Amino acid sequence: MTSQHGNGGQGGPWGGGGTPPDLEVLVRQGQDWLRQLLPGGGSRGLIALALLALAGLGAWTAYYTVPSDSVAVVQRFGKYLKEVPPGLHFKLPLGIDAATIVPVKRQLKQEFGFTTPGASDPYQSPLDGNRHKRETEMVTGDLNAALVEWVVQYRISDPVKFLFEVREPSDTLRYVSESVMREVVGDRTVDEVITIGRQEIETEALTKMQALSTKYAMGISIDQVQLKNINPPEPVQESFNEVNQAQQEKEKLINEARRDYNKVIPLAEGEKDQRIREADGYRLKRVNEAEGDVARFSALLAEYRKAPEVTRRRIYIETLQDVMPGIRSKIIIDEQARSILPLLNLDTRKGDQP
Amino acid sequence: MNKQIVILAVLGIAAYLLMSSIYTVSEVEQMIITQFGKPVGQPVTSAGLKVKVPFIQEVNPIDKRVLEWDGNPSDMPTKDKLYISVDLFARWRITDPLQYFLRLRDERSAQSRLDDILGSETRNAVAKHELIEIIRTTKDRVPLRDALLTEAERDMGSLVPIQKGRKQVEQEIFAAAAEKVQVFGIELLDIRFKRINYNESVRPKIYDRMISERRQIAERFLSEGNGEAARIRGNRVRDLNKIQSEAYRQVEEIRGVADAKATEIYARAYNQSPEAVAFYEFTRTMQSYKSIIAENTTLVLSTDSDLFKFLKGMSPNGDSPSARVAAGERR
């Protein structure tokens, strides 16, 4: 911690360069210069030259410009004088008036846990590479660990407070932001921090940071807190992935089983319908055939009734006439010639077998 | 020539005297005037251009703003014997510049006093509390539960209960330290924990626990998946059997009905009279011959049969041919 005092002390982070040289330093330089010149003689001309130089320096330090996104805070002999809007302005020269430029309209931000390269605001990024990592490490309310990166968007709302109330408002904002973020994360489970509670964390952190910055009277108004990457610690990340993978795997297993189910069941339903329809066909066939048979039989019977004996004979003879030609071996025997039978036994038996 | 040099010298000395007798006070500071190192009068607190006795008096600027103290992270054990690294910050201001100037003289020594006092108070407070007391703040907050967690994993998605909480512990440290720094003309405005982290040596254990918790969830997912898949497979077998057996039942029912119907139709027709029965028997038998008697059948027929009776002669002993036929046809 370096203690800054004198004229440069109140110089804000952006105003330091615009402050004209200190009055005392100027005079001391003038004295040195005189001392060098005096022994040489021809002093009148030299004195005139010195006065001219002094006047030039005075003119040089008598004006300043304020950029459009800023205001200037003017101090006379260190005492607060006025706030000046953007534009070209004049002041008392030679360190009597000092103007500090404060970018009140610029949206400023601080990054925690990561660095956007090329930032012009030295307070935007973590102060050094080492703190980078440490900034993100947090302990959650279920005693787990998480790595949190976030951004705070803020503006300088009151340049006078910003310059005169707190010595290092930007640093203090960093501390406040870290402290509040840990407080909020500390009240949450690791699941809330990593997945389901992000929105809530942003809102609560913003509210708490705003309350603190008001309490600290830093002249800063905080507009937004945005969470960036939130990860479990490196060694644990893999197991978090495992959970995701297992979830996918679960879906996969179920889908595969469903696939097998779908492959079989609708087909079986179809086959069931097929069999029922076939059975129905059988039923129709059977009934129709029966009715056909019966119709034929009935017709036949009606005729038969008219001449039974002849019909019977006719049918008998017709049938045998149909059947007989197809038979290879036919043996016709006479009742009186029974003695031939034994010789034909084999053949008969053979014929018995279908 | 000499005169001019004298005038110049006088002018120079006068300017120097003037310069060393005026000084400016900025808005952010206050001045303690010392005379030969000893403070004189009241501190100058209003900003602007001021006058002092040249050479003899010196001005010592002292900051009027709120100052920050940023502690170094230091490792300390909690009540539950966990080594943690604690990083604090504090805000303070100089309320009694004279006292401050006498006791500490500059800010460097003030910061180092704060280091000592806050450091030891923090140690005391942390050692008296379990880790969770300085992590959590709100006593009865109910966390959102991840929909992925089940009832059985109740211990996983919930917060560890606390008695006091971070704010109170901070308050304890603050109260103890504020009293001690008063003697230096310093007012402690507040202190807050900036960072609290597990010490390097504790981390692997914490990570192991986290990993095992996650694995537990992962395993559950896998077994849920397998379980559900098995259930679906069971359903498949059940539904398949159900469908197929229903099909069988319905088919048999239909066929049964069909057969019954056909039987009924036949019976009704064939059974209408004894004559019909006999005729049916006869025609059906005739019909069956066509399929029963094949090429390789050997038929031994007697000349007594109705068909061949005429082989013996024109007028056979023609009595009851039907009975003869029936007998003759049975090979």
pLDDT, tens digit, 9 for 90 and up, residues A127-143: 665 556 778 888 888 88
pLDDT at B315: 67
Chain A segment 186-215 residues within 8 A of B by beta carbon are: 186-192, 195-197, 200
What are the chain A neighbours of B89 within 8 Å (beta carbons)?
175, 179
| Contact criterion met (CB below 8 Å) for B216 and B224 | no
User: Does residue B270 register a pLDDT over 80?
Assistant: yes
pLDDT at B321: 46
Mean pLDDT, residues B137-142: 80
What are the chain A neighbours of B12 within 8 Å (beta carbons)?
31, 34
In chain B, % of residues over pLDDT 70: 92
Phi, psi of A10, deg, nearest 5: -90, 0
Looking at the complex, report in whole angstroms how far the Cα of residue B110 sits from the nearest Cα belonging to chain A. Answer: 11
A69 in a domain, yes or no? yes
Do A116 and A159 lie in one domain? The reply is yes
A243 in a domain, yes or no? no
Arithmetic mean of pLDDT over chain B: 83
What are the chain A neighbours of B166 within 8 Å (beta carbons)?
183, 186
User: Does residue A5 register a pLDDT over 50?
Assistant: no
Indicate the residue of A287, A293, A304 with minimum beta-carbon distance to B261: A287
8 Å CB contact of B300 and A190: no
Mind listing the pLDDT tens digit for each residue in B157-180? 777 888 888 888 889 999 988 888
Residue A225 belongs to what H/E stretch?
strand A220-231
Looking at the complex, report in whole angstroms how far the Cα of residue B207 sits from the nearest Cα belonging to chain A. Answer: 6
Mind listing the pLDDT tens digit for each residue in A94-121? 778 888 888 888 888 888 888 887 777 7
Indicate the residue type of B199. N
Do A138 and A26 lie in one domain? The reply is no
Minimum CA–CA partner of A190 in chain B: B157
Looking at the complex, report in whole angstroms how far the Cα of residue A267 sits from the nearest Cα belonging to chain B. Answer: 9
8 Å CB contact of A276 and B254: yes
pLDDT at B325: 44
Does residue A303 belong to the interface with chain B, where contact is any CB pair within 8 Å?
Answer: no
Looking at the complex, report in whole angstroms how far the Cα of residue A86 sits from the nearest Cα belonging to chain B. Answer: 23
pLDDT at B326: 44
Minimum CA–CA partner of B92 in chain A: A166
Mind listing the pLDDT tens digit for each residue in B64-104? 888 888 888 888 888 888 888 898 989 898 888 888 888 88
A165-174, B12-21, B116-125, B322-331 — which is least confidently predicted?
Answer: B322-331
Do A168 and A217 lie in one domain? The reply is yes
Mean pLDDT, residues A86-99: 79
| ipTM of this complex prediction, to 2 decimal places | 0.72
Q: Check the CA dihedral B158-B164-B166-B167 and report its sign.
A: positive
What are the chain A neighbours of B268 within 8 Å (beta carbons)?
294
Q: Where residue A17 falls among pLDDT bands split at 50, 70, 90?
A: very low
User: Does residue A185 register a pLDDT over 60?
Assistant: yes
8 Å CB contact of A216 and B91: yes
Q: Which tokens hold the place of B270?
A: 């064939």
* A5 DSSP 8-state letter: -
A101-115, A179-193, A335-349 — which is least confidently predicted?
Answer: A335-349
Does residue A78 belong to the interface with chain B, where contact is any CB pair within 8 Å?
Answer: yes
A134 in a domain, yes or no? yes
Q: Which residue of A193, A209, A250, A280 to mutate against B (max B Cβ within 10 Å)?
A: A250
Strand B57-63 relative to strand A220-231, pairing: unpaired
pLDDT at B245: 93
Spatial neighbors of B5 by CB under 8 A, at least 6 apart, are A38, A43
Spatial neighbors of A20 by CB under 8 A, at least 6 apart, are A61, A93, A94, A95, A98
Mean pLDDT, residues B94-117: 87
Indicate the residue of B4, B136, B301 with minimum beta-carbon distance to A141: B136
Q: Where residue A12 falls among pLDDT bands split at 50, 70, 90?
A: very low
Does residue A79 belong to the interface with chain B, where contact is any CB pair within 8 Å?
Answer: yes
Pick the CATH number of B67-200 from 3.40.309.10, 3.40.640.10, 3.10.150.10, 3.30.479.30: 3.30.479.30
pLDDT at A337: 59
User: Does residue A1 register a pLDDT over 60?
Assistant: no
pLDDT at B236: 92
Mean pLDDT, residues B187-198: 89
Mind listing the pLDDT tens digit for each residue in A49-63? 888 888 888 877 788
8 Å CB contact of B143 and A304: no
pTM over 0.90? The answer is no
Chain A segment 314-333 residues within 8 A of B by beta carbon are: 315-317, 319-320, 322-324, 326-333
Which single residue is written with the structure tokens 């100037």?
B101
CA distance A207 to A212: 9
Which range of residues forms the domain containing residue A57? 16-102
Looking at the complex, report in whole angstroms how far the Cα of residue A41 sits from the nearest Cα belonging to chain B. Answer: 8
Q: Where residue A303 falls among pLDDT bands split at 50, 70, 90?
A: confident
Do A264 and A293 lie in one domain? The reply is yes
B123-137, B148-162, B172-186 — which is least confidently predicted?
Answer: B148-162
Last-in-domain residue among A194, A213, A232: A232
A302 in a domain, yes or no? yes
Q: Which residue of B82, B129, B133, B194 to mutate against A (max A Cβ within 10 Å)?
A: B194
Last-in-domain residue among A41, A75, A102: A102
Mean pLDDT, residues A236-265: 90
CA distance A124 to A115: 8
A63-67, A165-169, B309-313 — which is least confidently predicted?
Answer: B309-313
Does residue A43 belong to the interface with chain B, where contact is any CB pair within 8 Å?
Answer: yes
CA distance A297 to A292: 8
In chain A, % of residues over pLDDT 90: 16
Q: Give B34's strand partners.
A: B39, B58
pLDDT at B330: 42
CA distance A267 to A270: 5
User: Does residue B318 register a pLDDT over 60?
Assistant: no
Looking at the complex, report in whole angstroms how far the Cα of residue A96 sits from the nearest Cα belonging to chain B. Answer: 9
Indicate the residue of B1, B89, B160 with minimum beta-carbon distance to A143: B160
CB pairs under 8 A between A and B: 420
Q: Where residue B1 falls among pLDDT bands split at 50, 70, 90?
A: low
Helix (H, G, I), strand (E, B) or coil at B233: helix
User: Does residue A41 register a pLDDT over 80?
Assistant: no
pLDDT at A22: 64
Do A278 and A311 lie in one domain? The reply is yes
User: Does residue A240 register a pLDDT over 90?
Assistant: no
Do A116 and A85 lie in one domain? The reply is no
Arithmetic mean of pLDDT over chain A: 79
Q: Where residue B155 falls among pLDDT bands split at 50, 70, 90?
A: low
State how many domains chain A has.
Answer: 3
Looking at the complex, report in whole angstroms how far the Cα of residue A324 sits from the nearest Cα belonging to chain B. Answer: 8
Mean pLDDT, residues A26-49: 65
pLDDT at B148: 67
Looking at the complex, report in whole angstroms how far the Cα of residue A270 sits from the nearest Cα belonging to chain B. Answer: 10
pLDDT at B150: 65
List, by residue range, all CATH 3.30.479.30 domains of chain B. 67-200
CA distance A187 to A201: 10
Instruction: Tell me how far CA of residue A147 lies from CA of A139, A251, B197, B310, in angstroms.
Output: 9, 29, 11, 119
User: Does residue A34 register a pLDDT over 50?
Assistant: yes
Mind listing the pLDDT tens digit for each residue in A323-335? 888 787 777 777 6
| Contact criterion met (CB below 8 Å) for A230 and A148 | yes
User: Does residue A348 register a pLDDT over 90?
Assistant: no
Q: Which residue of B159, B212, B301, B317 to mutate against A (max A Cβ within 10 Å)?
A: B159
Does residue A340 belong to the interface with chain B, where contact is any CB pair within 8 Å?
Answer: no
pLDDT at A13: 43
pLDDT at A2: 35
What are the chain B neighbours of A290 within 8 Å (beta carbons)?
261-263, 265-266
Indicate the residue of A77, A135, A265 with minimum beta-carbon distance to B48: A77
What are the chain B neighbours of A249 within 8 Å (beta carbons)?
221-222, 225
User: Does residue A45 register a pLDDT over 90?
Assistant: no
8 Å CB contact of A322 and B290: yes
